[in-house]
Structure 1
Amino acid sequence: MSRKFAFRLQELHALHANLRGVFILMLLLTVALLAYMGVRLWAIPDPVRPVELASLLSFAVACVVLCVGQLQCLRRMRRDTREKIEQMTFADELTGLHNYRYLEQRLGEELQRATRHGYPVSVIYLDCDGFKLVNDTYGHEAGNTVLRRVSQTLRASMRAEDFIGRLGGDEFLAVLPQTDSSGALIAAERLRTRLRALDLTAPGGERMDFVGFSMGVASFPAHATRREELVRAADAAMYRAKKAGGDRVCL
């Protein structure tokens, strides 16, 4: 867990705790004020009591409405906090894609569904060729820009039912439900073509044409039946693509 993530998590928990404390304080104050008004009500003469009773009831209704509003606000904040924590837990900070933790969980769930319903699932393991040269030549900010551009293209190129994430460094993994190896090969080649069409320009204006994309494809259940084995099979196929010269797709 990064320091920034831990700090944001502490902030969200502190905000939720503060709101809960405010609600409890308002509730206690309301009870105390109602008790005080009740004591005053019984201490005044009977002719004036109906007027005081009406005032007390109006005040009580206002307090209840206020407390209910605060309770609803607290519930919304709790839901928003949970969603933000989930987003922070499963999102890659640099690219906005899913991270490895999310991919691991979702891929396991998808393979369970595929086993029950009998359909194939394919994964595409992608590595950016020449990425180290980008960092060494133009700096890490240029490398981060490349990763963001690649991520945007990957996200825009996937189907609604597919999901893709960053494993770390310059490696990405796409999961294609209900897709066999032949369909995944077509999808991977289409991705590679779109990525190669990107205008990747260095800070000085030089085109970084040396950046390529090696991809490995593996399918369930043809190449593996377990999540870890499926990812390893796609990783091995990606390295075969690199050894063959890079910037290509291998099964």
Structure 2
Amino acid sequence: MKIVGNDKQKQINDIISVVKLSILLLIGIILCERFIKNNKPVIWAPETYYTVICLLIPLMVSILIYLIWFFSTENKIKGKYGEIISKIEIAVFILVFSIIIFICGVNESQYKFLYLFIIIITTIQFGMKQGLIVSCISSFIILALDIIMLPDLDVNIYFQDDLILAGIFILTAWPLGFYVKIEGEHIKKLEDMINIDGLTELYNHRYFCDSLAEKIKSGKRDNKPVSMIFIDIDYFKHYNDTHGHLKGDYVLRKIGEIIKDNTRKEDVPARYGGEEFAIILPNTDEEQALNIAEELRKKIEYIYFEGEENQPNGKVTASMGVSVYPYKAKDDLELIKSADDALYKAKFFNKNRVEAYTSILDDIKNNTDEKDVELVTSIKTLISIINAKDRYTYGHVERVVFYSKLLADKLNLSKRNKQILIYGAYMHDIGKIDINKEILLKKTKLTDEELDILKQHPVNGMEIIKSVNSLKDVIPLIISHHERYDGMGYPNKLKGEEIPYLARILTVVDSFDAITSNRPYKTRKTYEEGIHELERCSGTQFDPDIVRDFIEVIRNNIELSILDKYEYR
């Protein structure tokens, strides 16, 4: 619909431009007629020579300039500057018409009707208000000329006739302006039907994506940031199931209203899908976006929704993720992905909070030798590919990183060891890039051959990162995160303290999340069941000291009963 509207506007602009050229040619004909008397040209008569120089030549030059401008800049000058140029054109036309009338008899001139052309053009381009202004200016000029030229007449017949012409000017602009207004409202209504979400009255997903591409393009051209806020209603499925879809729709409408009322004119608030919303914030840095998101979060939390006391956290709340172009994303797709990543973190661990996007690999790049930056960027791309192949792997990595941070603090790891553990948690499954998607997502039990292929991912991961010198300390975690404390793991069957300490930590964290996550081939265990499984395998699969500390971390930091009942959304 937006394309159709643009095409229609282009057609109108083309017609208006042709009319303007026709008016200039008509003025040329009028001037030529002015300098022909008794069917003989007098253009080179001495008494008219200077008139020709002062009028005809500038007119021809102006026509030439207009032709060059029309064919070279059509559809290039838009927005504020295009509107200013159009208004300057209108003023020039009014001035030219006034000069023509002045040299062609002033109050006796028969060319006063020329003002009608510019009145019509202005009304079509800018609407009734501007059309009436131009018609009033034109009326004032012709009536003033009548009074100035014949000030002492008791009955000024020219003034009487021009009063009627002035009325025609105004009556032309008025109804034509109404038509233009009605036509514009009709087009706007059709656009809204296509671009606006019917339930929340925010923009819909399609318009959001189109607008994001445009805002990113503008941001790149003007060297301005573009931020994005992703919003998701916490436990919305539970509210819908408890109170019904009508109440759920009311929540969506109300939150849509809050978002609309608390965004700026230049922002693009949209319903992204289901209970997810998104806001594009042009020329907005991350700090500003975080402040806007936090204000929205508070307003949603403080408003009362019927039955919200039955929600797991006692309120209808929303989680939000923030990212910004070009600092956290290089294009529109990365901006969506990074904002969604930030939202995921906010939702999974605490909910009812705002998170800014952070990337472990961005931190790695900052601490990497210049010659290795390109390799680290390639690793980031590989991880994105894995996430696209297997959504579980993406969520799994994010959770393992989080658990690793908590456990690192509990174990009082040094800053460097904590950093290595987090890097290892982020990249431990990178070797899955070489594994077929059918194996990763297989719903039935893997064959021995398929299991052997899957067991190669620690070795594959080591091969991928071993060329990056700054990541050499991460290799033991990647190669050993499936070793067992009793020596029955893979790929090297290391036992006990032969397994690097950080790898033993990662094994516990990685296994706990695998136990408590849904996979295509198995249903997740509850968090309490996951803890019991760690205790059962303590001393055989896992280092017992690390298991003890990790269980303490989990019980102190995660609301197990809520997560078990409502999973991650």
Q: Is TM (by shorter chain) over 0.5?
A: yes
Which residue number in structure 1 is paired with residue 354 of structure 2? 249
2:212 to 107, 116, 120: 107
Root-mean-square deviation (Å) = 2.2
- Matched length: 181
2:331 counterpart of 1:226: yes
Aligned letter for 1:83?
K
* Contact residue 199 and residue 207 of structure 1 kept, 8 A: no
**How far did residue 182 of structure 1 move?**
1.5
CA distance in 2, matches of 1:178, 1:76: 31
Which residue number in structure 1 is paired with residue 272 of structure 2? 167
**How far did residue 210 of structure 1 move?**
3.2
CA offset digits 1:146-191 (Å, max 9, x no partner): 0111011111111222120101110000111111112111111111
2:251 counterpart of 1:146: yes
CA distance in 1, matches of 2:342, 2:202: 23
CA distance in 1, matches of 2:258, 2:176: 43
CA distance in 2, matches of 1:120, 1:227: 12
* Contact residue 202 and residue 270 of structure 2 kept, 8 A: yes
**How far did residue 207 of structure 1 move?**
7.1
TM-score, normalization: structure 1? 0.66
**How far did residue 226 of structure 1 move?**
1.1
CA distance in 2, matches of 1:123, 1:239: 14
**How far did residue 76 of structure 1 move?**
6.6
CA offset digits 1:133-157 (Å, max 9, x no partner): 1110000000000011101111111
Aligned letter for 1:224?
A
Which residue number in structure 2 is paired with residue 183 of structure 1? 288
2:244 counterpart of 1:130: no
**Are residues 232 and 74 of structure 1, via their aligned partners in 2, closer, same or farther at CA, if it must alter by over 3 Å?**
same
**How far did residue 77 of structure 1 move?**
6.1
2:340 to 227, 230, 235: 235
2:197 counterpart of 1:92: yes
CA distance in 2, matches of 1:106, 1:158: 16
**How far did residue 82 of structure 1 move?**
2.5
CA offset digits 1:93-150 (Å, max 9, x no partner): 1011110111111111111111011111100000000111111000000000001110
CA distance in 1, matches of 2:178, 2:298: 49
- Structure 2: state its 5+ residue gaps: 1-174, 357-569
* Structure with the greater alpha carbon radius of gyration: 2
* Contact residue 309 and residue 315 of structure 2 kept, 8 A: no
Which residue number in structure 1 is paired with residue 260 of structure 2? 155
CA distance in 1, matches of 2:180, 2:285: 44
CA distance in 2, matches of 1:220, 1:107: 11
Aligned letter for 1:192?
R
Aligned letter for 1:191?
L
Aligned letter for 1:122?
S
Which residue number in structure 1 is paired with residue 319 of structure 2? 214
TM-score, normalization: structure 2? 0.30
**Are residues 82 and 218 of structure 1, via their aligned partners in 2, closer, same or farther at CA, if it must alter by over 3 Å?**
same
Sequence identity (%): 37
CA offset digits 1:189-230 (Å, max 9, x no partner): 11101111111114xx96763322110000000111211110
* Contact residue 201 and residue 207 of structure 1 kept, 8 A: no
Q: Secondary structure at the match of 1:172?
A: strand
CA offset digits 1:11-38 (Å, max 9, x no partner): xxxxxxxxxxxxxxxxxxxxxxxxxxxx
CA distance in 2, matches of 1:135, 1:223: 34
Which residue number in structure 2 is paired with residue 197 of structure 1? 302
Q: Secondary structure at the match of 1:125?
A: strand
Q: Secondary structure at the match of 2:264?
A: coil
* Contact residue 231 and residue 321 of structure 2 kept, 8 A: yes
* Contact residue 130 and residue 210 of structure 1 kept, 8 A: no
- Structure 1: state its 5+ residue gaps: 1-69
